[in-house]
Amino acid sequence: KGMALPQRILFPPEKICMDWQQRQRAGAGLHNLGNTCFLNSVLQCLTYTPPLANYLLSWEHSQSCHQQGFCMMCIMEAHVNKVLHSSASAIQPWTVVNVLTRIGEHFQLGMQEDAHEFLHYTVDAMQRACLSGSSDLDISSQATTIVHQIFGGFLRSRVTCLSCRAVSDSYEAFLDVPLDVKTASSVTAALEDFVKPEQLDGENCFKCSKCDKMVATTKRFTIHHMPKVLTVYLKRFEDFTGRKISKVVEYPEYLDLWPYKSQTAGEPLLYALYAVLVHSGGSCHAGHYFCYTKASNGLWYEMNDASVDGRGINTVLRQQAYLLFYVR
> Rg of the chain's alpha carbons, rounded to an integer?
21
Q: How many degrees, rounded to 5, is the angle at CA 234 between CA 274 and CA 33?
A: 70
Orientation of helix 115-131 relative to helix 72-85, angle to 10° = 120
Is the separation of the CB atoms in 244 and 237 below 8 Å? yes
226 Cβ neighbours under 8 A, 6+ residues apart: 153, 257, 261, 269, 328
**How far apart (Å, rounded) are the C-alpha atoms in residues 249 and 180?**
11
Catalytic residues: 37, 288
The runs of H, that is alpha helices, within 5-161 are: 37-47, 50-57, 60-64, 72-85, 94-97, 100-103, 115-131, 139-142, 146-151
* DSSP letter, residue 141: H
**How far apart (Å, rounded) are the C-alpha atoms in residues 112 and 321?**
18
- Looking at residue 111, its amino acid is M
SS3 289: strand
* DSSP letter, residue 303: E
Nearest to 218 by CA among 204, 206, 200, 205: 200
